[in-house]
Every structure is written in structure tokens, then in C-alpha cells.
Amino acid sequence: MPLDNSNIVSAAQTKFGALKGVTLREMFSEAVDKATVDAGVPKKDIQAAFIGSFIPEMLVHQGHTAPLLMDFAGMKGIPATRHEDACAAGATALRAAVMAIESGMYDTVLVAGVEKMTSVSTNKATEALAAAADDEFESSMGLTFPGVFGIAAVAHMQKYGTTEEDMARVAVKAHKNASTNPLAQFQKEISLEKAMTPRYIAWPLKLFDCSPISDGAAALVLTSTEKAKQYTDLPVKITGTGQASASMNLCDRDDLTSFSASVDASRTAYKMAGLEAKDMDFAVVHDCFTIAEIIASEDIGFFKPGEGAKAVNDGVTARDGDKPINPMGGLKAVGHPVGATGVKQAVVLYRELLGDAGPNQVSKHDTAIMHNFGGTGATAVVNIMRRADA
């Protein structure tokens, strides 16, 4: 049965990028204010908070972040819990909130995600990110995150003939979409030639195949259907949700051209929503690397395995294509403050579904899918959302 009681009534994000002079708690507070008081939801109405943050311990030397952040945002006292599932932290926080509302325990809850990554050097941030992979068996021999996706790319290229140019086209699309998104880290189009600059990070992945290191926060308010009426005439409903896990180690996977957790989570979410990939008007997927978008587009069933690259080349996934993917610019060009990303993806769905995405608006926007995954793809969360009047 589709979920019927989970309604997003407001959603917002801070600008993503290297936000100099802005601390973790300040970013959090800004996103929360935008999603609550600025959107007509009094903070006193919030009964519990679910917060995604990946690794503030290493990035800003701060653990136990949920109460700290809520205190700064003027909301101490209510239950506040941090969720950590690497890059899927935001979406697992959202999913916990959905379960809390659907259970009837709460009527109105806050979901937020935040990460401050630029207060340490790029090498330190890379080291912190590597903690999302298996340290004893893979990271300790020098396998990096770009390396993980480089291995997936080589397997995909070998099996399906995907090329470096196909991947570069994903970057070109991301930058084009982000060029009109004032909240994006990179608001500049790039040429295919530039995207192909042979500055290798982890062959065959080059600089422009990789999402950047970013700061940022995102927040939304989730309510029961009854409560939603207090805040808006038109909420966005989460009608299906799926989560799955897979081995942390790449070497323990039979197929390196697909992420099984993404496939499993999306099938669960579609089944719950009573919908299929063909019913989706657009998708927001976890494009931490360009190859990740191509694979995700196949894993969520938008395209057959091996046909994701062709869809990019044919413009099918462009903002004005038949199946737009990441119409506001994705992780690749908007930025990837790890714990914020899953919540930010929900913010994008909310805005697009309501028709509130300005120059980045897709033409068909009744129903959509978001896909957020963590680390090496060992956690994946997929949500199906539709506008309440659709």
C-alpha cells in the first residue's frame, strides 16, 4: 500500500560551496529557519528532529551533534537524533522521520542534513571521506572514493562500451543545469572539451567527473496529512520508500556495473508506491561521480543496464528531455556536503514537484523519484514522491 500520511510542507537549503566563516551550527540554523519560521511553520510545532551528518568528528572535531545543533537553532528539549550512513545520512534521517509519522507517534517533525567540509585541507577531507569505505580491507591499501567509482567505470566501460566522453557529458549537463541555480557551488557551464581535460583523479575518472568538497545544509518539515493543512494547501507526499544495504567491499560484489542496494531500494519504493519507473516524471540521483549517475539511472529502472550513457548522449536526461535527471545540477555541480545531500535531494523534489524551480523547472512534475546512496553504495535509500493534487 502506498504511504498516505507523510507530507512535506516546507523544504529549503543553504547555498552549497566553500562557505568561509560559516560554521556547522550556523549553516544548520539557517536551513532550519528557512524551512520553519520563514515558511510559516512555528518551531514550537516541531515534536522531534532527525538529522543527517556524516563525519563532523573528523571534519570539525564535534560529535553528539544533534542536541548541539538543535540548541543553536532554538529548539532544544525535543528528541533529536543524528543519523550516520555516510553520503546517505540525509535520506536515512528522512526515512526515520517517515516511519515516525506513519507510526502515529508524531504529527510534525524536522528533517535536516548538514556537513562542514572545507574547514580542513582537501587531503584531510579525502581521508575523512575514506572512512566510509572498509578501512581494514580496502582503504588501507590506498583505495580512494574516486578509485571505487573508477573501478565501477572500468567495469561498465568493458561490459557496455561506455566511454570517458559519455561520462563527461553527464558533467556538462550538471554544470548547465547548475548555471541557473543560485544555490549551486558551480554556476558556470563547461564545454565537453573542458570536461574531458585529462587531469586524472582515479583513472578513468578526471577532475570534472567528481563532485566537489562542499559545505551546506538542508532542512524540511514532515507532517501528518491532518496537520499539513495548517501549513499549506499543497504538500508533497512521500508515497513509497525503500532502503537496502550491500557489502562495503567492492571485491565482495558479483557485479561491479550496478549497485545492488540501489536496485533493491528502488524496487521496494516502487512497490510500496504502486508505481513503476515509467510513471516517474523525473529523477534526482546520487551523482557523486559522473559514472554514478549513469549507473543509478539504470539501477532505478529508467534505462536498461548499459543504456544509461546513450540516454545522456541523446538528451533524454536533460532538463527538457523525456526523463530529466538532476534538473538543478546534482551533487556534481551543486556540491556534496555529505550529510546534507539526501535532504537537499528531497528539497529539489519538493520544489520541482510544486513547480517552484524557476529556470530549472521540468515540464512534467507530478511524480518523481530520489535516490541517495552512501559510501561505496553499501547503503541506498530511494523515495517516491508526488504532489498532493496529482
Q: Which is nearer to another protein, 40 or 200 (CB)?
A: 200
Among 174, 256, 381, 385, the residue binding another protein under the rule CB under 8 A is: 256
Q: How far apart are CA 308 and CA 45, in angstroms?
A: 44
Q: Which is nearer to another protein, 111 or 128 (CB)?
A: 128
Report the length, in residues, of the chain: 390
Q: How far apart are CA 151 and CA 208, in angstroms?
A: 17
Task: Let me know if 288 is a catalytic residue.
Answer: no
Catalytic-role residue among 286, 336, 365, 371: 336
Applying CB under 8 A, which part among 32-40, 183-191, 196-204, 321-329 lies near another protein? Answer: 196-204
Between 126 and 155, how does the x/- string for binding to another protein read (CB under 8 A)? xx--x---x-xxx--xxxx-xxx-xxxxxx
The answer to whether the beta carbons of residues 257 and 152 sit under 8 Å apart is yes
Q: Which helix (H) or strand (E) holds 339?
A: helix 338-354
Q: How far is the CB of 38 from another protein (least distance, A)?
A: 40
Between 212 and 251, how does the x/- string for binding to another protein read (CB under 8 A)? -------------------------------------xxx
List 115's β-bridge partners, or say none: 216
Q: How far is the CB of 137 from another protein (least distance, A)?
A: 4
Q: Is residue 158 close enough to count as binding another protein by CB under 8 A?
A: yes
Amino acid at 196: M
Q: Which is nearer to another protein, 131 or 234 (CB)?
A: 131
Q: Is residue 197 close enough to count as binding another protein by CB under 8 A?
A: no
Q: Which is nearer to another protein, 192 or 251 (CB)?
A: 251
Amino acid at 92: T
Between 6 and 45, how does the x/- string for binding to another protein read (CB under 8 A)? ----------------------------------------
Between 320 and 349, how does the x/- string for binding to another protein read (CB under 8 A)? ------------------------------
Q: How far is the CB of 206 from another protein (least distance, A)?
A: 9
DSSP summary character for residue 15: P
| Residue closest to 107 by CA, chosen among 192, 233, 7 | 7
Contacts of 22 (CB under 8 A, 6+ apart): 30, 116, 215
Q: Is residue 390 close enough to count as binding another protein by CB under 8 A?
A: no
Q: Is residue 209 close enough to count as binding another protein by CB under 8 A?
A: no
Q: How far apart are CA 153 and CA 163, in angstroms?
A: 9
The answer to whether the beta carbons of residues 376 and 132 sit under 8 Å apart is yes
| Residue closest to 341 by CA, chosen among 31, 134, 73, 96 | 31
Reduce the DSSP state of residue 49 to 3 states and report it: strand
Radius of gyration from C-alpha coordinates of the chain:
19
Q: Give the other-Cβ count within 10 Å of 234's Cβ.
A: 14
Among 19, 35, 202, 343, the residue binding another protein under the rule CB under 8 A is: 202
Applying CB under 8 A, what is the total number of residues that bind another protein? 34
Q: Is residue 52 close enough to count as binding another protein by CB under 8 A?
A: no
| Residue closest to 269 by CA, chosen among 369, 344, 349 | 369
Which runs of consecutive H residues, i.e. helices, occur in 47-133? 56-59, 65-72, 89-102, 122-130
Which runs of consecutive H residues, i.e. helices, occur in 7-105? 24-35, 56-59, 65-72, 89-102
Q: How far is the CB of 177 from another protein (least distance, A)?
A: 26
Q: Is residue 47 close enough to count as binding another protein by CB under 8 A?
A: no
Q: Which is nearer to another protein, 105 or 203 (CB)?
A: 203
Locus of grid cell 512555528: 42
Angle at 93 between CA 85 and CA 39, to 5 degrees: 140
Q: Which is nearer to another protein, 155 or 288 (CB)?
A: 155
Q: Which is nearer to another protein, 162 or 345 (CB)?
A: 162
Among 35, 93, 170, 201, the residue binding another protein under the rule CB under 8 A is: 201
Q: How far is the CB of 130 from another protein (least distance, A)?
A: 6
Site for another protein in 93-132 (CB under 8 A): 123, 126-127, 130
Task: Let me know if 210 is a catalytic residue.
Answer: no
Torsion, Cα of 146, 151, 155, 158 (10° steps): 80
Catalytic-role residue among 87, 175, 365, 371: 87
Q: Which residues bind another protein (CB under 8 A)?
A: 123, 126-127, 130, 134, 136-138, 141-144, 146-148, 150-155, 158, 200-205, 249-253, 256
Residues taking part in catalysis: 87, 336
